[in-house]
Structure 1
Amino acid sequence: MQEVYINLGPRSYSIHIGPGLLPRLGEYLRGFPFTRRALLVTNPTVGSLYASVVEAALAGAGFEVIRSEMPDGEEYKILATAEKLYDLAYTRELDRRSPVVALGGGVVGDLAGFVAATYLRGVPFIQVPTTLLAQVDSSVGGKVAVNHPRGKNIIGAFYQPRLVLADLGVLKTLDPREVRAGLAEVIKYGIIADGGFFTWLEENLEDLLALDAEALTHAVAVSCRIKAQVVREDETEQGRRAILNFGHTVGHAVEALTGYAAYRHGEAVAMGMVAAARLAVALDMLKEGEAARIERLIRRAGLPVEMPAGLSPDELLDSMRRDKKVLAGRLTFVLPVAVGRVEIVRDVPEEAVRRLLISAGTKGDPGGGR
């Protein structure tokens, strides 16, 4: 097992990484001043596989477990689902020291965390991520949110968990497509902060796709350490933390315009990373060979690199203008200047983005018509 510590003063917590950790969840919670009633949030797929293990672990530590299953899918990460959890928490008399435990991927973690952040103005939150993407990204750093029909994650908060338990053994039951989607975020960390890690990914990608335990442990731990360092420096995304959004400006627009159902989050981010690398080349910030290297690894991971053909540049640009990173109407992109280093670029010319989207195969002409 490896442990990564997120040093945020009174909001500090540990991420425990390794196989076979689910049955030990109760042990990890014994030292916290929680009351003995816990809300376990999961979905039917994950719940059928692992909820009984987690319930037994919590019961063994003296918790009364209140289990709730939300429908599976990004389209259910909405206020209406959160309201059902509020109702359950209220009727079962959860108090301000009753923990909310998220057992699932990013959707479950984001929604359960949003509920924890807002119910009674904040109750303890525990992350038990069961997808690779959640283990390396969404469970770490304290971003919790629900979606709105007009945009992804625009209703949310910064709210740190008390503990993250990443059991690598559960990844063996993942759909291979979900594994590839998680690798998009792993690749992101190499591009934004660690060229040596990117090289390691190039050399060990097949082992990761095969879920080799040693390779997975290394990849998850390095990813979490990179994110921990960035979050420690800028917890509420006033500056450097925005580099974690590499690939997300375009990726979130694709997700929103396709109803959060056509693509996994990691797949949309993969498209966005390739688009950002191509935009950086067009703006003379990145060498073509470096962009090709990024695109090649993403392709090898079995991830999409081209934009959906059915979306127009106008639709995508309009969605990007509503992105959380936009300030005073200026488009903001995280763009690579080399493998291992990125810059936050504000006021990116819309025409350069439009040309990129047209060259990427989206439906439109230079004037933006359909």
Structure 2
Amino acid sequence: MSTTITVGTDEQYDVTIGSGVLAQLPAALGEKVSRVAVVHPRTLRALGRTVSQQLADLGLRPLLIEVPDGEGAKTAETLTMCWALLGQAGFTRSDAVVGLGGGAVTDLAGFVAASWLRGVGVVQVPTTLLGMVDAAVGGKTGINTAEGKNLVGAFHPPRAVICDLDALRTLPHADLVAGLAEVVKCGFIADPVILDLVAADPAAATSWDSATLRELVERAIAVKAKVVTNDLKESGEREFLNYGHTFAHGVEQVEQYTWRHGEAVAVGMMYVARLGELAGRTPPELVARHSEALASLGLPRTYRGDRWPALIAAMGRDKKNRGDLMRFVVLDGLAKPGRLEGPEPALLEEAYRLISE
């Protein structure tokens, strides 16, 4: 049994969630597609070959494009390599790209599709929890630069997103737990039932084949689908999906992308919870609930205390900023996100001190 969630208005697409739903990939590509570039990381080489053979058996012409693992895939060099392979294979506007992997791969594959011939179709097949609940849904695509994360990219909605929960079977437990940070984020900004489910049974929330985790995935995707449908290009409420991300992206950059994204988001949520509290916006009991939820899942809540100059510089380049005005998403209450613009430097540093180890 599968669940389908529809995203978008003018460019609608379905997110399919369930076990064994990878079999729906050929239908999601469409009838007119001939060539299919399957972008995958080294760690999914075997799965990439399996998918490629399935497509070939149906008369399609697959092109396997292997890219580095993790954030190492999201570079200008890798993007250029993908363009070269598409050009050599003669890819046309009627052909399509498949992003098979975690969030970094779906970000890259989406940008490859958005930029090739000014836009070809892409179907996202996320194989990590983080990719399913965040990166692959919403049409945000891009790469990193030395100056920051996701500073270069495009909005390019996919034709479909296929979340085969069987892929989580082999996902390292630490990666599964890290992906839950984005799920918890959805609980704080929009759907408190997510937090109730985590609090009731943290062990089930971290079990890949549990009914609890499936419901958490579906609820998190539903939150994102609703927001993206109302605000595709992040001109309004979609910014709320970045709760905790300004600090998180700073941590990732400072740590040279050695931190898992979800771990950085967990600490980032603690930072903005403290920042919101200091600004008189976030109730103290809600700050405590952040700590409880993250601790129950084994996610980090603190960060080293000797990185402030580098962190504030990285946060100053965040894409939510406007000119020199720094902007953060904070909570005015549970499921009541808002914006905090231009907080005093002393306030920013004090919030950092409160979550420093």
After superposing the two structures, state which structure 1 stretch, 287-296 or 94-103, moved more: 287-296
- Provide the rounded CA distance (Å) in 2 between the counterparts of 1:166 and 1:14: 11
User: Contact 1:22–1:53 at 8 Å: present in 2 too?
Assistant: no
Where do 1:14-33 residues align within 5 Å?
14-29=14-29, 32-33=30-31
- Farther-moved stretch of structure 1 (265-274 vs 194-203): 194-203
Q: Is the 8 A contact 2:185 2:243 kept in 1?
A: yes
Which of residues 320, 345, 354 is equivalent to 1:350?
345
Alignment-derived partner of residue 54 in structure 1: 51
Equivalent positions of 1:89-100 (< 5 A) are: 89-100=86-97
Which residue in the other structure is 1:240 paired with?
237
Q: Deviations over 1:331-363 (max 9, x none)?
A: 11111122222112222222200111133327x
Q: Secondary structure at the match of 1:236?
A: coil
Q: Could you say which residue in structure 2 is the equivalent of 1:227?
A: 224
Q: Tell me if the contact between 2:274 and 2:354 (Cα under 8 Å) persists in the aligned partners.
A: no
Distance 1:219 1:34 in 2: 35
Partner secondary structure for residue 338 of structure 1? coil
Q: What is the rounded CA distance, in whole Å, between the counterparts of 2:182 and 2:331 in structure 1?
A: 15
Measured at CA, do residues 8 and 47 of structure 1 come closer, stay the same or move farther in structure 2, by a change above 3 Å? farther
- What's the % identity of the aligned pairs? 35
C-alpha contact (below 8 Å) 2:197/2:212 kept by paired residues: no
**1:285 — aligned with what?**
281
In 2, distance between residues paired with 1:119 and 1:41? 14
2:333 corresponds to: 338
Distance 1:28 1:108 in 2: 19
Match of 1:105 among 102, 105, 111: 102
Find the aligned partners of 2:220 and 2:353 in 1 and give their Cα distance: 33
Q: Which residue of 2 aligns with 1:2?
A: 3
How much does 1:24 deviate? 3.2
Residues of 2 paired with 1:319 and 1:56: CA distance?
Answer: 43
Distance 2:219 2:341 in 1: 29
Please point out which of 65, 69, 72 is paired with 2:69.
72
Structure 2 counterpart of 1:326, from 313, 321, 324:
321
TM-score by length of 2: 0.96
- 2:36 equivalent to 1:38: yes
Q: Measure how far apart 1:218 and its partner are.
A: 1.1
1:86-165 paired onto structure 2 within 5 Å: 86-165=83-162
- CA-to-partner distance for each residue in 1:200-252, whole Å, 9 max, x for gaps? 22213211212233222211111111101101111100111000000100000
| Residue in structure 1 matched with residue 296 of structure 2 by the alignment | 300
The residue type paired with residue 96 of structure 2 is P
Q: Which amino acid aligns with 1:330?
A: L
Shift of 1:33: 4.5
SS at match of 1:306: coil
- Counterparts of 2:3 and 2:336, CA distance in 1: 26
Distance 1:350 1:75, change over 3 A: farther
Does residue 317 (structure 1) correspond to residue 315 (structure 2)? The answer is: no
Unaligned runs of 5+ in 1: 363-370
Paired residues, what number? 356
**Scaled by the length of structure 1, what TM-score is found?**
0.93
In terms of mean alpha carbon deviation, does 89-98 or 203-212 score higher? 203-212
Whole-Å separation in 2 of the counterparts to 1:301 and 1:140: 24
2: CA distance, partners of 1:28 / 1:74: 27
Indicate if the aligned counterparts of 1:26 and 1:60 stay in contact, CA closer than 8 A: no
Q: Is contact 2:8–2:232 with CA below 8 Å preserved after alignment?
A: no
**CA contact 1:25–1:57 (8 Å) conserved in 2:** no
AA partner of residue 110 (structure 1): D
Contact 2:301 2:355 in 1 (8 A): no
